[in-house]
Each structure stands twice: as structure tokens, then as C-alpha cells.
Amino acid sequence: MVMKAWRIKENGISLDKMDTQEVLDSCVKIKIAYASVTLTDRLIAQGKLKCEYPLIPGRNAVGMVVETGINVKNCTRGDMVALKPLSSCGECAKCLDSKNVQCENTLAFGITEAGFLSDFSVVSSDNIIKLPERVNSEDAIFIDCIDIAIEAISKMGLEKGEYLAICGADDLGIIMAQAAMYYQIVPILIDMDPSFLQIAGDLGVYYTINSGEEDTKKQVFALTGGKMAHAVAYMSESNYPFNSSLEYVKNGGSIAICGLSDTLKELNVPIGQVHARGLSIFGILESNKNILSAINMLASKTIIIDALIGERIDFNDVDKELKKEILQGSTYLKTLVRMP
């Protein structure tokens, strides 16, 4: 059978017809319903992130199971499923010890492996997760963001009632604020664009600071009763200035850099200040550990997605979206791709 897939090559992007992969015993074939175009996809398409060509882009997708291998037990034909953006090698010491989430050679769909911007996709049944009926299929495109948000909150070691300053009100920042509230942590969402702060405010995020208009450090000081935030989550794909975020955290606090690192190349961190104040800085790039919790947060409406989808485009227009110039703030909301 023939499938259609967008492929990035050295000389451009094209919509190609190709044979579908064979559905092996432990694999499932998915008819993709929704996918998204992310910053990663655009960086790859524009030659700013290295990969092997040709590559099918697309890290996030949701679809319907249309065929299952004979060993597949976790889904049946007709199920709606989300595809996980990461997979494990199955061969390293961690994988052989059944600790696949700690795999030493993580495989990333749309980067090291074929992604999901195609009408059909064949993946191992380990790489899908069945969606409860209560979860809106479009929303499940965001499970990796929710997964990263949960991971960051856990790594920052926050306790109930503590303050988390979130620098950057992009999709991940707004999701993190919602996840923080679920854990009874108090988010303070900071950005220079009032429209994204408004989206968060409408979702119940009580403390937002417009850095373009307010003295942010002073505001954080006032909101926290002079203690400053226990931790800062910095959204690397937002355009918030990183060094400012150091000012909002208490001495001995931690700063989690969440998202891709490609946007951080030009960063000059005042390491003397980091050292003197006993700050911990660490990165959260990927997780894959909290996918089930992420689905549950969508099912329970703990995380509301609607306003975080920027544009909805047709599958046939993916190339135009991939080629779009990456301007400041242009990746604050996700672009959803509807399959034919």
C-alpha cells in the first residue's frame, strides 16, 4: 500500500508517495488524524538542526489504529491513540534492565527516526498510548509539553505553597503554570507579551507579570513576601531574556531550562553570580516518563489546551509552514495539522 509523507531532503521539502512499512508482529499501523509543526521541525527544514536526509518531520501526532500485529495487546482497530515523541533502543544496559525511559540511545521521531507528518505511520505498540474518550484528540498533540512540564516541576523539588516563576508564556509555559496549580504550587507567569499572559489569566493563572511594563523583580519580591521564587522555569523557545530570570529566584534556588537548546547558543550566563548565590541550573529537554499522567491531566481538564493552538493548517500546506521564517514569538502557540 502507498502512503503520502512530507520529506525533508538536502535540496528541499516535498510530499512523496512511498510504500508503507510492513506491520510486524509487535507493531501497529496508524492513520494519522492530527499532527503539529514544531520549532524542531522548522529548524530541521531550514537546515539549522542537523539530521540525516531524507527525513519525515513531525514529533507529535494522534491517530486511529487501522492494523495491529499479532502480538499487540494494548490497542485494537479503531482506537484513537497518541504517538510518543521518543522511543528507546531496546539494546543498551538500561533497556535490557527494563528501564527504557533511561535509555542511553534515545530515539526521537522526526529527528533521528521518521516522524509523523504522513497520512499513515507504522510504529511499535510500545510507542502509542490509547486515548480515553474524554480526551479531545487535538489536545493530545500536547502530551510531550505536559510530560516536560511535570518532569521540570518534579526535578525542581517544589513543595506545596512554594512559588514558581515561569519565564516565557509560550504553550509550554502556560501548560507548566496549569500543572503547577494542580500540585498546589503557586505559578508566577512572566512575559513581555500581554496577549499570552491574558490567555493564561483566562485559564486561572492568578499571578502574571508583564515585564515590558512592570519592574518584574520588584513584583516577584512583593508577591512572594520578599522571599523571591523558590525556582524558575525558563522556557527556552520563548524570547524571554535568560539572565533576567536569575533575578527572580531566591538564593540556593533552582532554574530549569525547559525546551530546545538551539535557541540558547548566544547565551552569556553570569556564572560568578550563579556560584555566589548557590543557584542550580539544569536542562529539561525531553522526558517521556510522564505520558500517562499527561493523558490523565487532559482527561480531568487539569490542563486546558484550546487557546494554545495558534493555527490549524491542511496537510497539503505543511511545506509552507516549515519554511516560515522563525521570528520572535512566532512559536508561542502550536500549529496543528489536519490530515485529509
Per-residue contact string for residues 34-73; x = within reach of Zn ion by CB under 5 A: ----------------------------------------
- Euclidean distance between CA atoms 27 and 8, whole angstroms: 25
Our CA dihedral for 232, 235, 241, 243, rounded to 10 degrees, sits at 40
Residue type, 12: G
163 pairs with which residues across the strands?
186
Per-residue contact string for residues 263-282; x = within reach of Zn ion by CB under 5 A: --------------------
Please work out, in degrees rounded to the nearest 5, the angle formed at the alpha carbon of residue 103 by the alpha carbons of 72 and 153: 100
- Euclidean distance between CA atoms 89 and 72, whole angstroms: 19
Residue nearer to Zn ion on the CB measure, 105 or 243: 105
Q: How many CA atoms lie within 13 A of 23 on its CB side?
A: 18
Contact 98, 53 (CB under 8 A): no
* Least gap, CB of 332 to Zn ion (angstroms): 34
* Least gap, CB of 82 to Zn ion (angstroms): 22
**Could you say whether residue 333 binds Zn ion (CB under 5 A)?**
no
Residue nearer to Zn ion on the CB measure, 103 or 209: 103
* Least gap, CB of 90 to Zn ion (angstroms): 6
Residue nearer to Zn ion on the CB measure, 90 or 241: 90
* Least gap, CB of 285 to Zn ion (angstroms): 17
Residue nearer to Zn ion on the CB measure, 104 or 202: 104
- Residues in contact with Zn ion, counted by CB under 5 A, come to a total of 5
Residue nearer to Zn ion on the CB measure, 9 or 99: 99
Residue nearer to Zn ion on the CB measure, 92 or 264: 92
Per-residue contact string for residues 76-115; x = within reach of Zn ion by CB under 5 A: ------------xx--x--x-------x------------
Residue nearer to Zn ion on the CB measure, 26 or 280: 26
Contact 224, 214 (CB under 8 A): no
175 pairs with which residues across the strands?
none
* Least gap, CB of 291 to Zn ion (angstroms): 17
- Euclidean distance between CA atoms 76 and 137, whole angstroms: 17
Q: Residue holding cell 517521556? A: 288
Residue nearer to Zn ion on the CB measure, 75 or 103: 103
* Least gap, CB of 112 to Zn ion (angstroms): 13
Q: Which residues contact 340 (CB under 8 A, 6 or more apart)?
A: 119, 314, 315, 316
Q: Where does the chain show beta strands of DSSP type E?
A: 2-9, 12-19, 27-37, 61-68, 80-83, 86-87, 107-108, 120-124, 128-130, 163-167, 186-191, 207-210, 229-235, 249-258, 280-284, 309-314, 334-338
* Least gap, CB of 56 to Zn ion (angstroms): 22
* Least gap, CB of 106 to Zn ion (angstroms): 7
* Least gap, CB of 289 to Zn ion (angstroms): 14
Residue nearer to Zn ion on the CB measure, 103 or 185: 103
- Euclidean distance between CA atoms 174 and 304, whole angstroms: 10
Query: How many other CB atoms are there within 10 angstroms of residue 195's CB atom?
Result: 10
Please report, as ranges, the residues that interact with Zn ion according to CB under 5 A.
Answer: 88-89, 92, 95, 103
